[in-house]
Structure 1
Amino acid sequence: MIHTMSRVLVAELRQHVGDTVSVCGWVNTLRLQRRMQFLVVRDHTGLVQVTHRRAGAGDAIEAALETLTAESAVRITGSVVDNPIVKLGGLEVVPDRVEVLNKAEASLPIDEHTGLDHRLDWRFLDVRLRPQAQLLFAVQTTFEQGLREYAYGQGCTEMHTPKLMGTASESGAEVFEVGYFGRSAYLAQSPQFYKQMAIAAGIDRVFEIGPVFRAEPSFTSRHATEFTGVDVELAWITDVEDVMRFEERMLAHGLAKVAERHGEAIRAVFGVEVQVPVVPFPRVAMAKAQEILRGTGWAPEAAKGDLDPEGERRLAAHIRGTTGHEFAFITHYPTSVRPFYHMRPAHQPDVTLSFDLLWKGLEITTGAQREHRYEVLVKQAAEKGMSTEALQDYLNAFRYGCPPHGGLGMGLGRVLMLMLGLDSIREATFLFRGPNRLTP
């Protein structure tokens, strides 16, 4: 039996000059010359050259290298040599043993010129072959770590809420219906109701990062039918400002962590600078936003008190021009475009204590202070034409002393897309799901 020594990552080879090590990775390129064989091996940390001088008949290493194809998985065991002539870090590995762990088929189905749709068909190869995709998921991990750090530091409890619901949430629109032991269940559009139940359960501050499902037949660069949501719910708030303050600081913390750990790599690979935003972000009430937009020639009447994508872009450009901020909260949306559970100020019942957060002209968050009084919730649901019978489990959470609370839901993919300057949310997701894509 062959004893295999511990794997050493390419990025750590400089510490092992003169040692015999094992490097595991994929065949990046092969140059098989008359006297020498050169192989570049790639792992997730970088590239290293493997150099072998041919020895003729009976040379097992020579024979193994001759059989290799691009993207074959290999384990190379050999000595690490300092060689300034080698362009890849001034190091090479001189092999004692070459193990072909899984030989790749000779012709790859994608290359650097392949269009996005076809690349998504072969997403595992697409991610493996492109440094920017590898970096994306490292950034995602660091960003989530930053969000969690901030949430934990603010006393949040991380929850995992059900993704199967017995009744369609909110209005019942845009939900996926699934068979469930002879009856219907629905995939959760949001953990909204369950977050609020956790608040009613006495869990002071709630935080979740998990899947969200939206049955929207949208084919835009910013929509997906399944995405990762970042959700927060805070109890005992004074007003909706408490929620906005929490979010802007959480985002600034997460972005600072990304800038510190990956700023240089992001600059090199994506050509963008990760800016850590200054808090507080500007706040603009919807009525004022529409006034600003009318001044730019936009017709807000068409959007019925909401913002369409063009309106979001124009408004963000105006705010950036006047304040220098890339982020902006748009607040006090009309009741007509907000769910029944958003609180309404007593002196202004036609608006809600709600907000959207725009970043670079795109909505990344919706949030609000929730209505926590049972009788008001029942009244507002009836005004929206909703059956309180289907909502009874949810409404019960407000019958026995639920505190004032508010929260937010943020789309992780949209944030990553904007942070890295990507053209589409499809590239900010490992395996994208949209109306026309359920595979791989």
Structure 2
Amino acid sequence: MASEEIPERPKADAPAEDGPAEPSKKAQKKAEKEAAKAALKARKQAERNEAEAKKIAEDAATDVSKENYGDLPMVGSEPHEASGHTRIPLLEVSQHVDKDAVVFRCVVETARSQSAKLAFLNLRQGLESIQAVVAASDTLSKQMVKFAASVPPQSMVLVHGLVKKPFEPINSATIKDFEIHIQKLYTVSRAEIPLPMQVEDAERALPGEGDVPGQEEEPKAEDGRPLVTLNTRLNNRVIDLRAKINHAIFRIKGGVVQLFQEYLSQQGFTLIHTPKLLGAATEGGSNVFEVKYFDKSGFLAQSPQLYKQMLVAARFERVMEVGPVFRAENSNTARHLTEFTGLDLEMAFEEDYHEVMDVLEGLMLFIFKGLRERYARETELVRNTYNVEEFKLPEAGKVPRIPFVEGIRLLREATGEELSEYEDLSTPMEKLLGKLVLEKYNTDFYVLDQFPLSVRPFYTMPSPHDPKLSNSYDFFMRGQEICSGAQRIHNADFLTQRMRAMDPPVDPESPGMRDYVAAFRYGCPPHGGGGFGLERIVSFWLGLPNIRLSSLFPRDPGRILP
């Protein structure tokens, strides 16, 4: 008889294969304790939230100023209802001392709490700033004081307040003899914080002329604070441009354009606007920007030169233009841009090209005088930041006109170097010559006349005194060129001859030249002119260390944004 197989019994303490192990009593107690602790914490937080909400509700119920402060709805998001308030500029606050409340919109530069019942704000509008006081009273709540102190810097606010005279002048504001006692304060546009850079850092001078885009390491000032580099400023240009010093620079820049047009209009010049998209590179193909123009190539204009001359031939005998100029030059220096604003003029003259120079000199002296009279405050603000000396001017009619060969002689005597009378000046030599002229003539503004023909464009008239020289000139400020000009060739046959003699030759029958040369075949008066770089005039007048500071959104070989 076969033996019966008895199955093996599982061990008593072995866990079931499919079911989870039961938690130990110790772990269970720990979980229960943590759950109770979390529940207690949640209950206490709910009680605090309830108490805080109750306090806020009670404060709101007793807040005598609850209608007089807060964030306004976004302008345009609700139907407009006229407030009936006349808003004043800060410059007019002196007319409202101890009178009815004034209303104005401004920017909060700083907001600080002195105590639960007192806060101070520094408010700015353009170049003006004023101190404002928010003080708790029977009619102004502590909640409003707290709100005022918490407004983020650079926020735009609407202010209602009384103009008062402080006990002593307020040195932290441009308006020192008055302050605003705020009655109502509303945020119009609240600034996000933190800012990518501080506006006050943009009020300080750049580290130096060598600070060009690409510098990443931020040097330290004498007080130990980092000096924000030009690269950082240009990367955050909207914040940077909020600085008062930048507002001053661009007011001056606009002033130069206004004075330029004002003077030339009085001299009978017509304002023109020439094309900036060209079908062919006109003054050389190596430093022009090529663009796609539908199914063909186009080019950005290097200057309005050829069109100015064509207009003179068209009987517009005095023309001026303010417009963009594009130069595809890979020059990463403190005084070069790939896009700048050109101030150009061209005019017919009667007997001699120095008649054109007379107009150019008169123009620049008019601009300098206008800047001194109309923009003295802005000029002082910028020059004081950079510790720049006053720009020395000659008397009218006494602008030094130095022949180029005489300039070379001065440099030879100063340096002992053998410099050629038929080669252009380097930038260091230009600056040195500026110092020599300042010592000899006591002026930062002068002209070099009769430049070597080999360094001037094909349309320049050769000199009758020396065939290697030309009837051309450059204008200088603080030893740096701001304008290049000349008498132009107005005879088509001679112009064609000069074009073919260039190295490399210029083809008078090419698409970019054919119409230009033809313009002089139908009778054209002798003429000349010049082109100024607006940013250079501004930079050298103010003594700025880098030309990019005089361009709102500068373009150079490494920068095409923002």
Normalising by the smaller structure, the TM-score range is over 0.9
Identity of aligned residues (%): 35
What residue number does 1:99 align with?
A: 186
Match of 1:386 among 481, 486, 506: 506
Match of 2:525 among 403, 409, 418: 403
Change (3 A) 1:31 1:349: same
Q: CA deviation at 1:140?
A: 1.8
Offset from partner CA, 1:136-186 (integer Å, 9 cap, x none): 112222222222221111111111111111111212221111110111111
What residue number does 2:156 align with?
A: 73
* CA distance in structure 2 between the partners assigned to 1:153 and 1:217 by the alignment: 39
Match of 1:47 among 126, 129, 136: 129
SS in structure 1 of the partner of residue 104 of structure 2: strand
TM-score by length of 2: 0.74
Any stretches of 5+ residues in structure 1 without a counterpart? none
Residues 477 and 541, structure 2, Cα contact 8 Å, conserved in 1: no
Matches within 5 A, 1:190-209: 190-209=303-322
Residues 364 and 410, structure 1, Cα contact 8 Å, conserved in 2: yes
What residue number does 1:116 align with?
A: 230
Q: CA deviation at 1:45?
A: 3.6
More strand per residue: 1
SS in structure 1 of the partner of residue 517 of structure 2: helix
What residue number does 1:334 align with?
A: 452
Q: Which one is further off, 18-27 or 291-300? A: 291-300
What residue number does 2:439 align with?
A: 321
Match of 1:156 among 269, 272, 282: 269
* CA distance in structure 1 between the partners assigned to 2:390 and 2:186 by the alignment: 41
Change (3 A) 1:14 1:192: same
* CA distance in structure 2 between the partners assigned to 1:395 and 1:101 by the alignment: 59
Q: Which one is further off, 321-330 or 33-42? A: 321-330
Change (3 A) 1:341 1:249: same
RMSD: 2.2
Amino acid at match of 1:352: S
* CA distance in structure 1 between the partners assigned to 2:335 and 2:401 by the alignment: 23
1:24 has 2:105 as partner: yes
Higher radius of gyration, 1 or 2: 2
What residue number does 2:413 align with?
A: 295
Q: CA deviation at 1:347?
A: 5.2
Residues 412 and 419, structure 2, Cα contact 8 Å, conserved in 1: no
SS in structure 2 of the partner of residue 99 of structure 1: strand
Q: CA deviation at 1:265?
A: 4.5
Residues 54 and 62, structure 1, Cα contact 8 Å, conserved in 2: yes
Change (3 A) 1:199 1:26: same
* CA distance in structure 2 between the partners assigned to 1:431 and 1:103 by the alignment: 25
- Following TM superposition, the consecutive aligned residue runs of length 4 or more in structure 1 with deviations greater than 4 angstroms are 55-60, 298-304
Residues 245 and 381, structure 2, Cα contact 8 Å, conserved in 1: no
* CA distance in structure 2 between the partners assigned to 1:70 and 1:141 by the alignment: 28
Q: CA deviation at 1:20?
A: 1.9
Offset from partner CA, 1:44-65 (integer Å, 9 cap, x none): 0411222222369976744642
* CA distance in structure 2 between the partners assigned to 1:213 and 1:95 by the alignment: 50
Change (3 A) 1:201 1:309: same
Q: CA deviation at 1:354?
A: 0.5
* CA distance in structure 2 between the partners assigned to 1:314 and 1:91 by the alignment: 48
Q: CA deviation at 1:6?
A: 2.7
Amino acid at match of 1:405: H
What residue number does 1:277 align with?
A: 394
Q: CA deviation at 1:324?
A: 2.0
* CA distance in structure 2 between the partners assigned to 1:216 and 1:4 by the alignment: 55
Residue-pair matches, total: 439
* CA distance in structure 2 between the partners assigned to 1:12 and 1:238 by the alignment: 54
What residue number does 1:308 align with?
A: 426
Change (3 A) 1:78 1:347: closer
* CA distance in structure 2 between the partners assigned to 1:39 and 1:369 by the alignment: 59
What residue number does 2:205 align with?
A: none
SS in structure 1 of the partner of residue 520 of structure 2: coil
Q: CA deviation at 1:2?
A: 6.8
* CA distance in structure 1 between the partners assigned to 2:419 and 2:284 by the alignment: 24
Change (3 A) 1:303 1:183: farther
SS in structure 1 of the partner of residue 116 of structure 2: coil
Offset from partner CA, 1:282-313 (integer Å, 9 cap, x none): 22222332233222236465896100011112
SS in structure 1 of the partner of residue 415 of structure 2: coil
Change (3 A) 1:81 1:317: closer
Amino acid at match of 1:282: P
